[in-house]
Amino acid sequence: MKAFLFQCAILLCLAQLQAIHCFVAPRAEEIDVSRTDQASDLPDLYEASVLELQEGLDAGHFTSVDLIKAYFARIEEVNLKGPALRAIIETNPSALKQAAALDAERAVSGKRSLLHGIPVILKDNIATVATEGMNTTAGSFALLGSIVPDDAGVVKKLREAGAIILGKANLSEFAEFRGNLPSGWSGRGGQTTNAYFPNADPCGSSSGSGVSTSIGLAAVSLGSETDGSITCPTSNNNLAGVKPTVGLTSRAGVIPISEHQDTVGPMCRSISDAAIVLSIIAGKDPNDNFTLAQPDEVPDYTKALNSQALVGKRIGVPRKVFLNDSITGNDPTINVAFEQALRVLEELGATIVDPADLPSAEEIARSNNETVVLDTDFKIQINAWLEDLIVVPTGVQSLADLIAFDNAHPSLEEPINFTSQSEFIASEATKGFTDAYFQSLAFDKELGSTRGIDAALDTFELDALVLPAQGFTTVPAAIAGYPIVTVPLGFYPNNVTIGSAGPETIYPAPGVPFGLSFLGTAFSEFELIGFAFAYETKTKTRLARRAFPAAIPKTQLKDIVGN
C-alpha cells in the first residue's frame, strides 16, 4: 500500500489506481500577491524570463559570469542549508569558465541564440561529458564516477546554441523505475522537497528540475517523461512544461526506461521560456532514430505565442475515467479550479466540447500493457546503457548487477522504510521481445491513439483535449507517445488537510500548486503551446503565490555585479 500513497509515483499506477486515496476537501485560497520590489533595473532572478536575461546581457547590465555566480549563490542558500530542498545534485565546475568564453564571444560577434549564456539545469539522467566535471547517474551511487561516451543529443544542441549547463538536478532515482521510492528521492541526492510548503511532495521524477526552476536556481531546466515525470513536477511546482511527442527531442545519452515512451522536455517559469528551449532542443539526431520520423522543419515554437490562439478552437473534456475522482484520486480543489478554467477557455474564444470521451478510457484504466512494455524495454535498454559506458568504478555491468549493488549498499540506496526494488526485479524477470510484448506494444498504440486520443480528436472534431495535470491524465499520452503542455492552474488553500506522500514528504499541503494540461496528437506541440500561452496570459496564475519565505533565495544580481 505504501507506494500508492506517494502522490505522483505516476509510473505504472495503472492497475493500482483504485487504491489512491482521496484527500479531504479544502476550500478558499488565500492569494499572496506581494512581490519583492526591485530597486534596480536588474531582473529578479526568482521570476526572470529568458528574454529579460538576454536584454540585460545584451545591454551589458550584467554578464553570464555574473549570472552563474548569482545562481550558484542561490543554490548554496537553499539546497543543503535553510529549507534543504535538495533540488540540485551537482553544480558544473566548468560553468564559470564557459560563461567567460561566451561573454567574450557575445562582445565580439553577438549572441548565437536566445539561450546564449543562459544557465540551464539538467535532470541527472541526461549525459554530460565527464571532462567537464559532472557525473551522470540517475541519482544512483551505482553510477557514481562512470564515464559516459558523449554528451546527450539535447545537450549538444544546447551547447551549440550557447547555453551553459549550470548543474544536474536531483530526481526520483532511475526516473522512478526502481520501485517503492518516494517521489524526488535518490541515493545520491536524498529527498527533494517542494518550495511552496516545507517538506511537501515535489512530484517526480523530474523533481529537482521542477523545484530548482520554481524559485530561480537556474533560468530554465530540462526534465524527462516516460509517464508523468515532466507533467507532474511541472504541476506541483507552479511551472510551464512541455512533454514532447516521443521522437521530437533526442533521447541519445539519456539514461533510459523505454524508447517507446521516454522523451526530454523543458520545465520553465513561463510557456514563452519553454517555447524558446523546445525550439532549440527539438530536431533530428542520427543517434536516436525515433527522431528521424519527425517533420523535416523544426518549428519556431515562439511563433505559437499568440494570446488569441484559442479563438474558434474546439477543446474537448474527456471526463470518463480522467475526471472520475474515485479513479484519479484528485482533490475537489483541483476539480473546482478545473471547471473554472473551462469557463476561462470559453472566454478566450474556445468552444468547450464536454464530454469528449476517449473510447478506450475504461480499458486504459484496466490495462497492464504499459507495464509489460516498460519492464521489457528497461532491461534491454539499461543493459545497453551500462555496456556503452567507458568506465564504471562500481563494476556494475547489468540490471542484475544494479539490483545486487543496491542490496549490498542499503545505507546508500535505501530510503527510510524501503520495502523492495520491485520494478527492477520485475524488469529483470522479463524474457526479451516475446509475442506478449509485441501484443502489448500494439495494444498501447491502439488504446492511446487509434481508440484513444486520436479517436476523440476525430470524433468530436477537436483541436486539443484539456484536463487537470494531476490524476490519470498522463497515461494515454504516455502509451501513445503524444505531447502534453502544462501550465499553472491553482494552489491548495491554506487550510487544506495535510496528507502523507512518503516517509519524509506530505501532500496535499497549503499553497502547493497544481497545473492544467493540454493534450493533442503527435507533433501538435505548436498548437498546444499556443493554447497554453493564451490561458497563461489571461490567468497569470504562477504569479498569484510564491514559495514559503525560507525557500526564496535572497541573492540577486545586484549582490554580484561589480563585486
Catalytic residues: 123, 205, 229
Q: Pick the stretch among 203-211, 336-344, 367-375, 396-404 that binds ligand NAG (CB under 6 A).
A: 367-375
The answer to whether 522 contacts ligand NAG (rule: CB under 6 A) is no
The answer to whether 415 contacts ligand NAG (rule: CB under 6 A) is no
The answer to whether 416 contacts ligand NAG (rule: CB under 6 A) is yes
Helix (H) or strand (E) holding 516: strand 513-519
Closest approach of ligand NAG to the CB of residue 241, in Å: 23
The answer to whether 523 contacts ligand NAG (rule: CB under 6 A) is no
Query: What letter would DSSP give residue 161?
Result: T
SS3 string, 189-203, reads: CEECCCCCCCCECCC
The answer to whether 189 contacts ligand NAG (rule: CB under 6 A) is yes
The answer to whether 215 contacts ligand NAG (rule: CB under 6 A) is no
Show contacts with ligand NAG in window 270-299 (CB under 6 A).
289-290
Using DSSP's 3-state secondary structure scheme, residue 484 falls into strand
Give dist(CA 506, CA 229) in Å, integer: 18
Number of H helices, E strands in the chain: 20, 13
Q: Which of 134, 164, 341, 353 binds ligand NAG (CB under 6 A)?
A: 134
The answer to whether 145 contacts ligand NAG (rule: CB under 6 A) is yes
Q: Which of 9, 53, 88, 334 binds ligand NAG (CB under 6 A)?
A: 88
The answer to whether 327 contacts ligand NAG (rule: CB under 6 A) is yes
Residue number with CB closer to ligand NAG (178 or 188): 188
Nearest to 307 by CA among 50, 45, 540, 83: 540
Residue number with CB closer to ligand NAG (135 or 524): 135
Closest approach of ligand NAG to the CB of residue 21, in Å: 14
Residue number with CB closer to ligand NAG (36 or 417): 417
The answer to whether 414 contacts ligand NAG (rule: CB under 6 A) is no
The answer to whether 72 contacts ligand NAG (rule: CB under 6 A) is no
Max alpha carbon distance in the chain (Å)?
66
CB atoms within 10 A of CB 420: 14
Dihedral (CA of 547, 553, 554, 558) sign: negative
Q: Pick the stretch among 156-164, 175-183, 377-385, 492-500 that binds ligand NAG (CB under 6 A).
A: 492-500
Using DSSP's 3-state secondary structure scheme, residue 165 falls into strand
Residue number with CB closer to ligand NAG (56 or 189): 189
Closest approach of ligand NAG to the CB of residue 388, in Å: 13
Dihedral (CA of 82, 85, 87, 89) sign: positive
Q: Which of 50, 65, 89, 403 binds ligand NAG (CB under 6 A)?
A: 89
Q: Which of 64, 125, 135, 207 binds ligand NAG (CB under 6 A)?
A: 135
The answer to whether 139 contacts ligand NAG (rule: CB under 6 A) is no
Pairing mode, if any, of strands 190-191 and 351-353?
A: unpaired
Closest approach of ligand NAG to the CB of residue 531, in Å: 26
The answer to whether 429 contacts ligand NAG (rule: CB under 6 A) is no
Residue number with CB closer to ligand NAG (120 or 274): 120
CB atoms within 10 A of CB 22: 13
C-alpha cell at 537: 496570459
CB atoms within 10 A of CB 526: 17
Closest approach of ligand NAG to the CB of residue 196, in Å: 18
Closest approach of ligand NAG to the CB of residue 118, in Å: 19
The answer to whether 124 contacts ligand NAG (rule: CB under 6 A) is no
Instruction: Please spell the DSSP secondary structure of 325-389, one letter per residue.
Output: HHHH---HHHHHHHHHHHHHHHHTTPEEES----TTHHHHHH--HHHHHHHHHHHHHHHHHHHH-
CB-based burial, 256-271: b 16+ in 10 Å, e otherwise: bbbbbbbbbbbbbbbb
C-alpha cell at 461: 472534431
The answer to whether 263 contacts ligand NAG (rule: CB under 6 A) is no
- Residue owning grid cell 549525459: 127
Give dist(CA 498, CA 510) in Å, integer: 8
The answer to whether 326 contacts ligand NAG (rule: CB under 6 A) is yes
Closest approach of ligand NAG to the CB of residue 92, in Å: 10
Closest approach of ligand NAG to the CB of residue 90, in Å: 6
Q: Pick the stretch among 109-117, 208-216, 220-228, 364-372 that binds ligand NAG (CB under 6 A).
A: 364-372
Show contacts with ligand NAG in window 435-464 (CB under 6 A).
440, 443, 447
The answer to whether 121 contacts ligand NAG (rule: CB under 6 A) is no
Closest approach of ligand NAG to the CB of residue 47, in Å: 23
Residue number with CB closer to ligand NAG (381 or 486): 381
Residue number with CB closer to ligand NAG (272 or 367): 367
Nearest to 227 by CA among 203, 250, 209: 203
Bridge partners, residue 222, by sequence: 122, 266
Using DSSP's 3-state secondary structure scheme, residue 316 falls into strand
Q: Pick the stretch among 133-141, 196-204, 376-384, 419-427 that binds ligand NAG (CB under 6 A).
A: 133-141
Nearest to 182 by CA among 169, 197, 200: 200
The answer to whether 190 contacts ligand NAG (rule: CB under 6 A) is yes
Residue number with CB closer to ligand NAG (57 or 200): 200
**Cβ atoms 263, 245 nearer than 8 A:** yes
Helix (H) or strand (E) holding 223: strand 220-225
**Cβ atoms 216, 85 nearer than 8 A:** no
How far from the centroid of its chain's Cα atoms is residue 419's Cα?
26
The answer to whether 317 contacts ligand NAG (rule: CB under 6 A) is no
Q: Which of 372, 456, 457, 464 binds ligand NAG (CB under 6 A)?
A: 372
Site residues (CB under 6 A) for ligand NAG? 26-28, 79-80, 86, 88-91, 130, 133-135, 144-145, 189-190, 289-290, 324, 326-327, 363, 367-369, 372, 416-417, 440, 443, 447, 493, 495, 497, 503
